[in-house]
Structure 1
Amino acid sequence: MRFSGVVSFVLASLCLAGCSSTSGMDALQVPSNETTSSVVRPSAPVAAAGATAETETTVETTSMAGDARMRPPEPVADDNAPPFSLAEEETVAFPAPNLPDSVEPPVQPAALMAPPKRLSRAAPAMLAGPVTRYGFRDAKPINFGRASPRHLAVHGVDVSRWQGNVNWEKLRAQGANFAYIKATDGGDHLDPLFRTNWRNADAAGLKRGAYHFFYWCRTAGEQADWFIRNVPRVEGALPPVIDVEWNGESSCKRRPSRDTVLEKMQVFMDKLERYYGQRPIIYTSPDFYRDNLRGAFPDYPFWLRAVARHPSKVYPGRKWVFWQYSGSGLSHGVRGRIDLNVFHGDERAWRAWAGGQTTVADAD
C-alpha cells in the first residue's frame, strides 16, 4: 500500500510537470502575421468611399509589431542619395522604336486620367497662374535634339530637405510652374522641411503636390496612413505621388517579387485615391520599371525619370504626364542642384489637367 501510494504520487507529479512544460513551449511559438486592408479595384477611374475589401499580407520582421520605437530606424531616401535627385542615375534602357533626335515628338494632351475631385472645383482663374518660361541652367546638360524638353511649355521642380531653404519667388521666376515636395517615406519619417515648402510654394504661386518614398520593409497600409496623416487635403493641390524605385543604400534590402510589388502599390494607391479623390501618380526609374512595371497600371499617370534619352526610348509605349529630364538643374533661389521636370502638354492642356479635367494622350 505505502509503495503503491509513493509510485502513484511520483507518476502524478511527472504528468503535471510535463503538461506545464508543453504549455510554455506553445506560448512561445504563436505566429504573428500582419495584415492591412485593401479594396477591389473599381471599374470606374474613381472609387466611392465604400468598397469591397481584400487583404494584403506581408511578413514583417519587427520585434514588436505596431510599435515603431522597437523597429530599426527607417532610411530616409534622401539621406543616402545625391542631394539633387529622387533616383539613382539612369542605368537601364529598353528596346524602342527608332525616334530620330532630329524629329520633335508631337505635343499632345497630358497622358493622365485625372479623376473628378471630391472637393469643389475652383474657379478657372485659380487653377493655375500664368506660365513662366524656361530659365533654368544645367550643370550636366544633355542634348535631346528636337525632342528637347525645352520645346514643352510647363516646367517644374521637385524638392526635399536637401535643397535647404528655398526662395520660392526666385524659383518661380526662373521657370518653376509646379513643385512636387517630399513629404514622407516609410511609416514614420516626415521630411523636416515639408510643411515650410508646402506653404511657401503655394504662396509663390506654384501648383504644388506631395510625394511619398515607398519603403519595401513596411506594409502599404501603414505607409498610406502616414502620408494621409501628414499631407493636407486641400483645394487645387496636384495629385499625390508614390515614388517606387530600388534604393541600394537603404537598410531595407528586400526586393519583393513583381506580384508583391504590384499588390503593395495597389493597396497604397487605393487608400490615397479614396482620401484625396485623385488618382495617384507613379514616379519610377528605369531599372525598377524594367523589373516590375512594364505593362502594369495602364490607367494610372506616370512620372518618368529619363535623364539621358527621351522617355519614348527608355520606356517604350508608356504614357506619361511628367518627365524628370535632369537631376543637375541650377536656379536662382536654391543652393546646389535641383531636379527639373516638364509636363506633357501645352499651356492649354496644363490648365485643363491642373483643374482636374480628364485628358488622355498616346505615348510618343
Structure 2
Amino acid sequence: MDWKPVSAFGIRLPMRYSIHGIDVSRHNARIDWERVRQVEGDGVRLQFVFVKATEGATLADRSFDRNWTGAREANLRRGAYHFYHPTRDPLKQADNFIRHVELQAGDFAPVVDFETVNGQSDSTIINGLRLWLETVEEHYSVRPIIYTNGNLYKRYIKGNLDDYPLWIADYSAEHLRTYPADNLYFWQHSDAGVVRGIRGRVDFNVFVMDDDELTSVCIP
C-alpha cells in the first residue's frame, strides 16, 4: 500500500493514492479554512472535504453553512452528508437534507452516513435507506454515496444496495481487497489526523478509484 508517515498531518497516509481529503462537522469547532487550504506535507495537499449537513428528521449541523462556504472559498471540492437514524422516517430525513443543502456543479453527490442500527430489523434498515437514497437521487439527479463501516456494509449494504457508490470507514485495513472494486470510491482510513486550522483530531480519506473517475460521483 506504500504507507508513509506525514508529519504535517500526524498520521501515515496511503501514498499509492493521489487524492486526499477530510470530513468535518460541528465537533471540529470553528475551522480556519484559509489555513487548511495552505497545509502541505510530503507533496500531499488536501483536495476535498465532506461536511456534515443534517441528522435525523429535523436536526441541522450548526456549522454547516459556515463550513460549506469556507470549503468552497478554500478551493476544496466539497460534499455534504446526512447522519441517518433508522428509527426516524426516511422521507422526513431526506426532506431535511434537501431543505438544507443546495448542490452546485462540481460538488460531490449527496452522502448518507449509515453507522447506527438502533435495534431496528434488517428489513427496516435496508428499506429505509433505499427510500432515502431514491428520494435524494430524484431531487438532485445524481446517485448518492453510502458511507458506512465494514461490518454494516457486509450485513446491510452488500447484496442489497450494491448500485450505489461506496465510502468505507476501515481504520484497521492495510488493503481494500475485502470490498468491491467496482463501486468503492472513498476510504476513510484514519480518525486521528491533524490539520492546521482545525482543532482536535480529523478524519482522513482518500479517493481510491482512478483519478479521472472523480467526476463520476459529482454533480455534472
TM-score by length of 2: 0.87
Q: How many residues align?
A: 213
Deviates further, 233-242 or 336-345: 233-242
- 2:17 pairs with one of 149, 152, 155: 152
Relative to its length, the structure with more strand (as a share) is 2
Q: Distance in 2 between matches of 1:164 and 1:289?
A: 30
Q: Distance in 1 between matches of 2:70 and 2:90?
A: 30
* Bigger CA radius of gyration: 1
Alpha-carbon shift at residue 291 of structure 1 (Å): 2.5
Deviation readout 1:253-277 (Å, 9 max, x if unpaired): x322222211101110111111111
Judging changes above 3 Å, is the alpha-carbon distance between structure 1 residues 317 and 155 closer, same or farther for their aligned structure 2 residues? closer
Alpha-carbon shift at residue 331 of structure 1 (Å): 1.3
Q: Distance in 2 between matches of 1:149 and 1:265?
A: 31
Q: Distance in 1 between matches of 2:7 and 2:21?
A: 11
Instruction: State the percentage of identical aligned residues.
Output: 34
Unaligned runs of 5+ in 2: 40-44
Q: Distance in 1 between matches of 2:130 and 2:175?
A: 24
Aligned residue identity for 1:225: D
2:92 is aligned with 1:222: yes
Aligned to 1:339: 203
2:204 is aligned with 1:204: no
Higher relative contact order (CA 8 A, sep 6+): 1
On the 8 A contact 1:312/1:318 being kept in 2, the answer is: no
Secondary structure (helix, strand or coil) at the match of 2:191 reads strand
- 2:111 pairs with one of 206, 226, 241: 241
2:157 is aligned with 1:293: yes
Q: Distance in 2 between matches of 1:346 and 1:315?
A: 16
Alpha-carbon shift at residue 216 of structure 1 (Å): 1.5
- 1:269 pairs with one of 128, 133, 137: 133
Compute the RMSD of aligned alpha carbons. Answer: 2.4
TM-score by length of 1: 0.54
Deviation readout 1:68-108 (Å, 9 max, x if unpaired): xxxxxxxxxxxxxxxxxxxxxxxxxxxxxxxxx68x9xxxx
1:168-183 equivalence runs, <5 A = 168-174=33-39, 175-183=45-53
Unaligned runs of 5+ in 1: 1-100, 105-133, 142-147, 248-253, 358-364
On the 8 A contact 2:107/2:218 being kept in 1, the answer is: no
Secondary structure (helix, strand or coil) at the match of 1:151 reads coil
Deviation readout 1:149-189 (Å, 9 max, x if unpaired): 22101001100011111111222232221110000000111
Alpha-carbon shift at residue 345 of structure 1 (Å): 3.2
Alpha-carbon shift at residue 311 of structure 1 (Å): 5.2
Judging changes above 3 Å, is the alpha-carbon distance between structure 1 residues 136 and 281 closer, same or farther for their aligned structure 2 residues? farther
- 1:326 pairs with one of 190, 197, 207: 190
